[in-house]
Structure 1
């Protein structure tokens, strides 16, 4: 089985954040959830390293490769779910 992690960087009261997490969970995937309002290192990571200013930020890592995006992006979420369902 291949190693896979999904991390969703969120903030309280963020509707797109909740929808993103719910979509992964309803597909049987359990993303790691990181609150950027209480974790300054995570906030620095998504803003300084990845260059995003909008939550949620999703980081999907699998077999040494990484994909990430910002905002509610159902197409990208569905692609990750499909990749995981085939394994």
Structure 2
């Protein structure tokens, strides 16, 4: 399972999402959309204009959401068998 967090500096929801991932032991890669044009374009292509955007790729299944979503973070942790 690959988790990508698209974020930007000084974004409280981005920071909350990172803390949620860290708390639940979820491995993720962070992409700063202010410095990565392809990352910014990926978010636009997914239909988002605000950060954070989370992209989860597992096999052929792709899930994504925007904003701080503790419910989604907990569901992801459950799927990965991470501590709740």
Same fold at TM > 0.5: yes
Q: State yes or no: 1:18 paired with 2:24.
A: no
Aligned residues: 82
Q: State the shift of 1:21 in Å.
A: 1.1
Q: Is the Cα contact below 8 Å between 2:24 and 2:74 reproduced in 1?
A: no
SS at match of 1:16: helix
Deviation at 1:63, TM superposition (A): 2.0
- List structure 1 runs of 4+ shifted beyond 2 angstroms: none
What is the aligned partner in structure 1 of residue 55 from structure 2? 59
Structure 2 unmatched runs, 5+: none
How much is the aligned-residue C-alpha RMSD, in angstroms?
Answer: 1.1
Q: TM-score, normalised by structure 2?
A: 0.92
